[in-house]
Structure formats: C-alpha cells, structure tokens
C-alpha cells in the first residue's frame, strides 16, 4: 500500500537541505587536504626525502691510533690508552642555554669555561661534536649514559688517547700534543683533521706528525631518534699511524734526567759514529700527559709563565757561552794554522795584561810554564789568551764553525737554535760597533758574545773524537744500512785539520780527565775518557769581587770515550752549577759508567 508522505512522516525537507550543504562543505575540505598531501608528498618529495635521510644516518669518525714511539730497545715512551670523551652536539639541543647549564653541572665543568670552549668552535656546523671533557672516569661515563634520553645532545665516545707511561722522561724529545685551534682547522695544512683532534706541538710528536697520524676511518650508521645505532651502512677502516723507534736509550735517558733533578740544565749523550742521540735531557721538565687534557687553561698558563721555563728544551734551544770548552777549538785552530806547536809554552802567573787591561786565570796562583797538553789539562786561561790572540777573531770564527759551533746541527727536532760565533763583520752589522781586540782575548776562553747550545757542543765533541768527521745528530732510528751510508757522508770543513793535530788536543783532553786535570771527576776506570770542562762567567771576576758576592758560573763538561774509536759522547751543562770540573764532570762520569756497563 502506498503511504502518502505527509500523513505519517514529518516534513524534514528544510533540515535535510541543511545536511546536504554541510556535506558539500566537508567534501570540499577533504579535497583541499588531499591537495596539501599532493604538495608535500609529490611536489616537495625530494626535500623531505633528504631530510628523512639526514635524520636516519649518522656519520662518525673512527680515529686512527697514533703510531707508538719507542726507545732503541722497544721500550714504549709514547703509548695509546683507551679513554672516554664527552662531546656536545649543538644540533640536538632543545634549549641551548639550559643544555649548557645541565652539562656544566653534570660534567662538573665551570660554566664560563664551557661557554668559552663552545664559543671557540661557534663557526663550525651544528652537527659537529664539540668535545667538552675527555679522559672521563667510569662514574662520569655512567652518569652521561644513564641520562642519554634527557640529554640527546651529549654523547660519550671512546678515544685512543696519547699516554706517556714515563710522564716527564724525555718529555722534551717526545714533545707534547695539543688540540687543533679553529684557525688551524681551516688551514690547508690540517685538511681532513677533525674538530678536537690533537696534534704534536713540539718534539718528535711534531717532527714526525705526518708519519704518526695515519688516516682516520669513517662509519655511517642508521640511528634512531635517540641516537641509538641500528646497524652500519658503510665503513672505512682507519689505517693506523706508523710506529717510530728512537735512537734514545731508556736507561741513559732516565739516568740523565735523574742526574739533572733539582738543577737547571741539559745533558746530551751521543753516539759519535753515526750521530745517534742516546739521551737528550733538559731540566726542569714537564708532564706531557697534562697537555692531553683539554680543560686546564690555568695549568697551561702556569707552566708557560714559570720563570725556570720547563717547556724549553735547553739541549737544543738553550744558548750559553761555552767557556773553557772552547779552548780545544782555539788549540786546534792555532795548531792547524801553525801559530803554535804542541811544545809551544806560555807562562801563567795568574794574571796578565792585554791592550792595557788585566786578564786573569781562573787559578789565581798561576799555572807556571805550560805547554799545550798541560794547558788543556789544567784549562789555563793565560795560555789560550795568547793562542787566541795569535789566531785572531776571524780565524777563531772559521775554526769554530768548522767544528760545529754556532750552526744548526740538523737534528730532527723542531725549534733548534743556531747560536752565534762572532766576527768583525757581525759586530759591524749587528752591534754597529767595531770589534775590539780585547774581545778576542775573552773569546779565546769561550766568553763574550759567543753562544752555543749543549747539542752543538756534543756534536763538536763528536767531531773531535772522530778526528774531524762530522755527524748529523738524529733521533729517528734508521736501519743499519742507512747508518753505514751516513758514515760515508763525512765531508766536512773540519777535515782540513789533520788527524795528528786532533791527537795532540785529545792528548790534553785525556790528561784533563785521567791525570788530575780539571776533568778528573769524569774519570772512569779502563774507559779512557777524554774531556774538557768549562765554567762560563756571567759577569767578569773583577765585577763579582766588587759586588762582594759569589756569582755562580754555568758549569760545562763535554767528553768522549774511549780515546780511540770513541763510541759515546757526553755533554753536560748545569746552569749556575759552579765550576765545570766540580759539578758537570761527576754527572758525565755517571753516564760514561752506565754506558760502559751496558754496552762494553
């Protein structure tokens, strides 16, 4: 049966029309939204795709372990130890200010230090981790790890950290490492290095940086939103740096450091045959482990501002007048140029006059009549005043240079100093005054403007011991074939001095040590040590007397042993050590003794 609409059903046409209108509005909005999805998913696909890729992958550096540094007998002097470091990734900070505050509290770093450190690297991309603290202890590591979710910006990484097991030992040879500065990072010489990388600043660490570093590897990982790794995508293994063997002998080096303990000075032990440096010590010293820590600016400032300058390698950078050590040079020059013979004698009455000025011997009583070997044996000033006066400043300079003084030795360490051998030309050019003849007299006993380094004196001594053959001192140990080649290269100006001339001077040096001369405290039984002492006056004796107090002199001893075919050279310098024979010679004896026990 057909039902007529309005009898049983109400008229709903008005509200039904309204439902249609609402439906059209909703339908329109659906279309609009679909269009937005089209835009994001199809038109802007590339942009969002790369954003999602950047989200899910993380590139990190696998640092290559730095090469080890060992002594000649494979004692490890510079090692790598595992350590943890904490880095801040600024990109992950939700609120930068609060992050800094939290990290400063969590890691116990002064907030100002932390801010300064971050500011230093402000110009680097936000995703680059900035190391905020290294060498974390386990408690710190667990503190960071346990709050990983709260602080996604703070990450802990393991790190092969440089470690010097004998801390201060040979610190000046090995050198220390410091973090690359932002400026260096941007320079070409450190391309490919990473933020917070350490580089050698001095010593072998700097000299052989390129050998030691190796090449860092890289790792691309898939990570989730809290930075957990979900597997590797790509990996480039690091290639470790080369190990370096030094010519140093651990025992000699340790002995040399112990002997200098409490003094300021330097000791060089050299093998004169090929120039291998067996020990090279400078005191006061420092602990290079301290430099690895990135957060001790105050300690660093304290160290560089200390008046005794522990960072300075006195063996290659300390400039001293050689004092009486220079007398052998005068002797060789005077003999070689025919100004004197071995038998030429001069009378020492304790004092004499040249050019109207008094010049005295260190032995006020006078040595009496002395020939050359005796003069070297007793280190008689008067004898060498005369010999030097005959030789003249120009020829003194010529022989000094020929015998390795006042010139770079060529050792494989950065920062070696050249020293100075004065000439008349130098005086005019630099001092703007004429060279006074009286200065030649002072120069004859190694005083005046003459400046040498302890290493130069050691090389000079090697030339004496080698009877004129020059060697280049080096720390990197070569294979033995290379050594033999090095011995062939022996062409040096000192060759113009005959072997016989050397013998005459060496005879004096032998007497000095073995026949009660100034060097007798360096005597070693059955080792034929030949040596020469020196005491460098800092002010003239007359002036010291006037001041009425004793001014201590720098104390030198340099020598080689045995007399024929010498195998070891020892040079000792003690600043303000007093007389060379009394202070430096006994230290040298200890080293000769040790060498003899170990190698003979």
Partner 1 sequence: MIDRRHIENIDWFLIILLVLISLVGVLVVYSSSHYLPGKYYLKQMLFIGVSLVLLFLFLAVDYTVLTTYSFYFYGLIAVVLAGMLLFNQLTAKESWIKLRYFQVQPSELAKIALILVLAQMFSEYKRNYVSLGAVMASGGLVATFFILVALQPDLGTAVSFLPLLLGALILAGLKRKALAFILVLSVLLGVAGWNFILKDYQKNRLTTVVFPGKDPRGSGYQILQSKIAIGSGGFSGKGFKKGTQSQLRFLPARHTDFILSVVGEEFGFLGVAGVLTLYFLFIARLFHSCAKSRDRTGVYIIFTVSMMFSFQILVNVAMVIGLFPIVGIPLPLLSYGGSSLLTSFLAVSLVVNVKMRRFVNI
- What amino acid positions are annotated as catalytic residues? 324
CB 325 within 8 A of CB 505: no
The residue from 59, 224, 484, 564 that contacts partner 1 (CB under 8 A) is 224
Residue 98 is a binding residue for partner 1 (CB under 8 A): no
Cβ proximity to partner 1, 55 vs 181, nearer residue: 55
Encoding tokens for residue 349?
A: 């009455």
> Which part of the chain contacts partner 1 (CB under 8 A), choosing from 10-18, 237-245, 320-328, 425-433?
10-18
CA distance 153 to 463: 61
User: Residue 551: is the preceding peptide bond cis (ω within 30°)?
Assistant: no
Give the C-alpha separation, 218 to 371, whole Å. Answer: 73
Q: Return the residue of 116, 215, 222, 304 that touches partner 1, per CB under 8 A.
A: 222
40 contributes a contact to partner 1 by CB under 8 A: yes
Considering only 21-29, 133-141, 405-413, 426-434, which stretch makes contact with partner 1 by CB under 8 A? Answer: 21-29
Three-state DSSP class for residue 82: strand
Q: How far is the CB of 68 from partner 1 (least distance, A)?
A: 40
The reply on whether position 181 binds partner 1 by CB under 8 A is no
Residue 529's φ and ψ, nearest 5 degrees, are: -70, 135
Q: Binder to partner 1 among 48, 127, 355, 599 (CB under 8 A)? A: 48
- 228-247 footprint of partner 1 as x/- string (CB under 8 A): --x-----------------
Nearest C-alpha neighbor of 402 from the set 317, 316, 497:
497
Contact window for partner 1 (CB under 8 A) among 91-99, 210-218, 470-478, 574-582: 91-99
Report the Cα–Cα distance between both ends of the chain, in Å, rounded: 134
Q: How far is the CB of 278 from partner 1 (least distance, A)?
A: 59
Give the C-alpha distances (Å, rounded to integers) separating 28 from 21, 22, 33, 34, 35.
11, 10, 9, 10, 11
Q: Are 87 and 151 in contact (CB under 8 A)?
A: no
- Residue 323 class from Cβ within 10 Å (0-12 exposed, 13-18 middle, 19+ buried)? buried
- Return the number of the residue (6 or 305) whose C-beta is nearest partner 1: 6
Position 8 contacts partner 1 (CB under 8 A): yes
Is 95 a binding residue for partner 1 by CB under 8 A? The answer is yes
Interacting span for partner 1 (CB under 8 A) from 23-31, 373-381, 489-497, 511-519: 23-31
Q: Which stretch binds partner 1 (CB under 8 A): 32-40, 489-497, 507-515, 555-563?
A: 32-40
Peptide bond into 540 cis (omega under 30): no
150 binds partner 1 (CB under 8 A): no
Contact 571, 282 (CB under 8 A): no
122 binds partner 1 (CB under 8 A): no
The strand pairing partners of 530, in sequence order, are 560
Q: Exposure string (b/e) for 71-84, b if CB count within 10 Å is 16 or more?
A: bbeebbbbbbeebb
Minimum separation from the CB atom of position 154 to partner 1 (A): 14
State the DSSP code for 570: E
The distance of closest approach from Cβ of residue 6 to partner 1 in the complex, given in angstroms and rounded to an integer, is: 13
| Binding of partner 1 by 47 (CB under 8 A) | yes
Least CB distance from residue 129 to partner 1, whole Å?
Answer: 16
Q: Does 41 bind partner 1 (CB under 8 A)?
A: yes
> What is the CA 97 to chain-centroid distance, rounded?
39
- Residue 56 interacts with partner 1 (CB under 8 A)? yes
- Asked whether position 149 contacts partner 1 by CB under 8 A, the answer is no
Helices 454-465 and 327-336 meet at what angle, rounded to 10?
40
- What the block records as the tokens of 599 is 């190698």
Write down the least CB distance from residue 15 to partner 1, Å. 5
Indicate the residue among 26 and 138 with the shorter CB distance to partner 1: 26
DSSP H or E stretch at residue 508: helix 499-514
Q: Given the rule CB under 8 A, which residues bind partner 1?
A: 3, 8-10, 12, 14-16, 18-20, 22-23, 26-27, 29-30, 33-34, 36-38, 40-42, 44-45, 47-49, 51-53, 55-56, 92-95, 222-226, 230
């Amino acid at each position: 049966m057909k039902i007529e609409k309005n009898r049983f059903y109400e008229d709903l046409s008005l509200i039904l029309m309204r439902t249609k209108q609402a439906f059209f509005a909703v339908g329109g909005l659906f279309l609009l939204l679909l269009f937005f999805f089209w835009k994001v998913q199809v038109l802007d696909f590339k942009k969002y795709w790369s954003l999602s890729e950047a989200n899910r992958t993380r590139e990190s550096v696998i640092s290559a372990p730095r090469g080890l540094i060992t002594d000649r007998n494979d004692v490890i002097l510079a090692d790598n130890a595992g350590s943890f470091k904490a880095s801040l990734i600024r990109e992950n900070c939700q609120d930068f200010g609060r992050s800094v505050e939290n990290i400063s509290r969590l890691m116990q770093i002064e907030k100002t230090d932390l801010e300064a450190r971050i500011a230093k690297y402000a110009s680097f991309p936000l995703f680059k981790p900035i190391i905020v603290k290294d060498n974390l202890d386990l408690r710190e590591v667990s503190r960071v790890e346990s709050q990983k979710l709260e602080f996604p910006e703070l990450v802990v990484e393991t790190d092969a950290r440089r470690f010097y097991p004998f801390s201060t030992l040979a610190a000046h040879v090995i050198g220390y490492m410091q973090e690359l500065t932002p400026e260096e990072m941007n320079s070409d010489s450190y391309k490919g290095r990473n933020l917070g990388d350490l580089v050698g600043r001095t010593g072998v660490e700097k000299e052989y940086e390129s050998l030691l570093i190796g090449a860092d590897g890289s790792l691309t990982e898939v990570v989730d939103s809290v930075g957990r790794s979900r597997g590797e995508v790509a990996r480039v293994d690091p290639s470790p740096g080369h190990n370096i063997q030094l010519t140093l002998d651990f025992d000699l080096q340790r002995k040399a450091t112990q002997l200098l303990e409490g003094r300021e000075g330097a000791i060089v032990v050299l093998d004169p045959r090929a120039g291998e440096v067996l020990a090279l010590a400078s005191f006061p010293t420092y602990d290079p482990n301290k430099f690895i820590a990135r957060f001790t600016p105050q300690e660093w400032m304290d160290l560089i501002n200390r008046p005794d300058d522990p960072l300075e390698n006195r063996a290659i950078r300390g400039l001293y007048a050689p004092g009486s050590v220079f007398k052998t040079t005068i002797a060789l020059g005077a003999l070689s140029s025919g100004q004197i013979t071995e038998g030429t004698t001069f009378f020492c009455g304790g004092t004499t006059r040249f050019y109207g000025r008094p010049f005295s011997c260190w032995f006020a009583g006078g040595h009496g009549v002395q020939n050359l070997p005796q003069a070297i044996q007793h280190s008689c000033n008067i004898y060498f005043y005369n010999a030097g006066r005959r030789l003249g400043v120009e020829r003194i300079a010529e022989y000094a240079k020929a015998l390795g003084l006042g010139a770079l030795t060529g050792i494989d360490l950065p920062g070696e100093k050249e020293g100075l051998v004065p000439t008349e030309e130098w005086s005019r050019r630099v001092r703007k005054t004429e060279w006074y003849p009286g200065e030649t007299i002072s120069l004859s006993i190694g005083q005046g403007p003459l400046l040498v380094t302890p290493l130069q004196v050691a090389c000079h001594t090697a030339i004496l011991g080698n009877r004129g053959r020059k060697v280049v001192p080096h720390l990197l140990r070569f294979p033995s074939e290379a050594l033999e080649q090095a011995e062939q290269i022996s062409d040096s100006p000192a060759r113009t001095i005959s072997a016989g001339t050397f013998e005459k001077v060496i005879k004096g040096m032998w007497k000095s040590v073995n026949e009660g001369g100034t060097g007798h405290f360096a005597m070693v039984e059955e080792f034929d040590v030949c040596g020469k002492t020196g005491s460098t006056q800092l002010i003239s004796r007359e002036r010291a007397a006037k001041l009425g107090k004793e001014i201590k002199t720098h104390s030198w001893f340099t020598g080689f042993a045995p007399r024929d075919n010498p195998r070891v050279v020892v040079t000792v310098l003690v600043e303000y050590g007093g007389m060379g024979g009394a202070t430096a010679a006994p230290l040298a004896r200890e080293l000769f003794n040790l060498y003899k026990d170990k190698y003979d």
